[in-house]
């Protein structure tokens, strides 16, 4: 039972970070109908930017805040340089641009930071585990989860109570109606990419504290895709729930299946589950079901 509860708590905490990255997937899809296949590289950039600030002597919390600011700038620049001219073009063309953007960003990251594994030194979080009854929780998981939840709450309040957030939701629900009310689609798309850079970047910084920073952090950004599909591609609450569920599934499979199927089964199981889940719920738990009549 102790092993079960340790897997449960670790899965929930890692799932909170996955939910933060999943938010970036959902925002871009809600606003433009595009799957951003460069999300792994956005996660990796955030990890390296935070590491660079921290390595320069800036406290970790302030480094995360500066990463958010850098994410805003990079998001707006990326949308305006690579995607602005594709508004109104076929969705497949935009998706292929994100594939090219993925390779471009990966090459840029290799050129700037190289391919060696980097670790946060000195360690941001204490190594000694926190004991809660029978549970022993690593501080890096606990504080990363708390920071991820705080940012998720801030983003949710932004969408619900601010004019910009409401404009983004209106454009996602009905772009034509939003345009008729004076909402700028260009601004909404740029803001979606900026927030995607922010959420994925901070998620990458937190994941980098857990595993170190190398190209595998970008892969973890893509590992969030099953969480997005599970919750629904256009559902923000679904991204949160899906992230936590995938975190649980990954940790339980690593705990109980790795001994029978060695070789990284915890990275495969979420995608197997996604494929089976789509057979029964093609739109996810809270995705919009499109019905077309002819």
- What's the pLDDT tens digit per position in 81-127? 888 777 767 778 888 888 899 889 888 988 898 888 888 888 887 77
DSSP notation for 29-80: HHHHS---TTHHHHHHHHHHHHHHHHHTT--HHHHHHHHHHHHHHHHHHHII
Q: In which band, very low, low, confident or very high, does the pLDDT at 290 lie, cut at 50, 70 and 90?
A: low
What CA–CA distances, in Å, run from 1 to 151, 214, 255, 256? 32, 34, 12, 12
Is 232's pLDDT higher than 70? yes
Q: What is the mean pLDDT of the chain?
A: 83
Q: Please state whether the peptide bond connecting residue 265 to the residue before it is cis, i.e. omega within 30 degrees of 0.
A: no
Q: In which band, very low, low, confident or very high, does the pLDDT at 48 lie, cut at 50, 70 and 90?
A: very high
Tokens 């589950």 locate to: 273
pTM: 0.85
Is the dihedral angle over the CA atoms 152, 154, 159, 160 positive or is it negative?
A: positive
Residue 19 contacts residue 227 (beta carbons within 8 Å): yes
Kindly state the percentage of the chain with pLDDT values over 70.
94
Token output for 57? 């002597």
**Whole-number pLDDT of residue 287:** 65
- What's the pLDDT tens digit per position in 151-200? 888 888 887 888 877 787 777 666 677 777 777 777 888 888 888 888 88
**Whole-number pLDDT of residue 293:** 53
Number of neighbours of residue 227 by Cβ within 10 angstroms: 30
Kindly state the percentage of the chain with pLDDT values over 90.
7
């Amino acid at each position: 039972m102790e092993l079960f509860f340790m897997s449960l708590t670790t899965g929930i905490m890692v799932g909170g970070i996955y939910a933060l990255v999943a938010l970036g997937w959902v925002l871009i899809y809600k606003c433009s109908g595009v799957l951003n296949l460069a999300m792994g590289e956005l996660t990796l950039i955030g990890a390296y930017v935070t590491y660079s600030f921290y390595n320069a002597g800036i406290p970790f919390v302030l480094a995360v805040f500066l990463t958010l600011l850098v994410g805003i700038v990079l998001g707006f620049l990326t949308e305006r340089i690579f995607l602005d001219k594709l508004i109104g073009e076929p969705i497949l063309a935009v998706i292929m641009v994100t594939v090219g953007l993925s390779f471009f960003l990966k090459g840029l990251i290799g050129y700037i930071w190289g391919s060696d594994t980097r670790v946060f030194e000195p360690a941001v979080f204490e190594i000694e585990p926190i004991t809660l009854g029978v549970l022993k929780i690593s501080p890096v998981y606990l504080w990363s989860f708390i920071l991820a939840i705080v940012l998720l709450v801030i983003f949710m309040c932004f969408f619900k109570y601010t004019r910009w957030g409401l404009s983004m939701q209106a454009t996602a629900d009905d772009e034509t109606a939003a345009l008729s009310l004076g909402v700028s689609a260009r601004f909404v798309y740029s803001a979606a990419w900026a927030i995607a850079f922010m959420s994925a970047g901070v998620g990458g910084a937190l994941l980098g504290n857990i595993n170190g920073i190398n190209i595998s952090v970008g892969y973890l950004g893509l590992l969030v895709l099953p969480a997005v599909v599970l919750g629904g591609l256009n559902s923000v609450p679904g991204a949160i729930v899906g992230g936590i569920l995938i975190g649980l599934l990954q940790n339980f499979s690593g705990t109980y299946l790795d001994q029978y199927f060695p070789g990284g089964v915890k990275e495969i199981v979420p995608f197997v589950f996604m494929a089976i889940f789509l057979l029964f719920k093609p739109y996810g738990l809270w995705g919009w079901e499109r019905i077309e009549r002819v």
